[in-house]
Amino acid sequence: MNAWLSLTKKEFQLGLPAFLIALILYLGILSGGYFTGNYAGYTEGLLSVALGFVVILHIFFLPFYLYYSLSAERKRLHLWLHTPMSIAGLLSSKVVTGITFMVFTFAVFIIGSTQFFLHTFDFFNQETIFNLLGSITVFVFTLGFFIAALFLFFWSIFLTFSQRMNDFISFILTFILFLFISWIYGSLMDLSFMQTLTNWGSIQVNDIIVGFEFGYVENAFEAQAMSESSIFYIGHFVRDIVVAVIMFIAACWIIEKKVEV
Site residues for another protein per CB under 8 A = 2-3, 5-7, 10, 13-14, 75-79, 81-85, 163-164, 256-257, 260-261
75 versus 119: smaller Cβ distance to another protein: 75
Specify the residue, 25 or 77, whose C-beta has the smaller distance to another protein.
77
Nearest to 93 by CA among 25, 15, 163: 15
Give the 3-state secondary structure percentages of the chain, helix then strand then coil, rounded to 5. 75, 10, 10
Distance CA 120, CA 32 (A): 19
Measured from the CB atom, is 44 or 73 closer to another protein? 73
The residue among 41 and 84 lying less far from another protein, judged by its C-beta, is 84
Beta carbon nearer to another protein, 32 or 89 = 89
- Confirm if 26 and 113 have CB atoms less than 8 A apart: no
> At closest approach, how far in Å is the CB of 242 from another protein?
27
Q: How far is the CB of 241 from another protein (least distance, A)?
A: 28
Instruction: Quote the least distance from Cβ 156 to another protein, whole Å.
Output: 14
Query: Exposure string (b/e) for 102-132, b if CB count within 10 Å is 16 or more?
Result: beebbeebbeebbeebeeebeebeeebbebb
Nearer to another protein, 119 or 257 (CB): 257
Query: What ranges in 41-166 are assigned the alpha helix state H?
Result: 43-57, 61-74, 77-80, 87-120, 126-162
3-state secondary structure of 63: helix
The minimum distance between CB 203 and another protein, in angstroms, equals: 44
Angle subtended at Cα 213 by Cα 210 and Cα 218, rounded to the nearest 5 degrees: 160
CB of 244 to another protein, least distance (A): 24
Shortest Cβ 178–another protein spacing (Å): 23
Bridge partners of residue 204, in order along the sequence: 231
Closest distance between another protein and the C-beta of residue 30, in Å? 29
Give Cα separations from 56 to 60, 78, 79, 121, 253 (angstroms). 8, 36, 35, 20, 32
**Structure letter (DSSP) for residue 85:** S
Q: Which is nearer to another protein, 30 or 259 (CB)?
A: 259
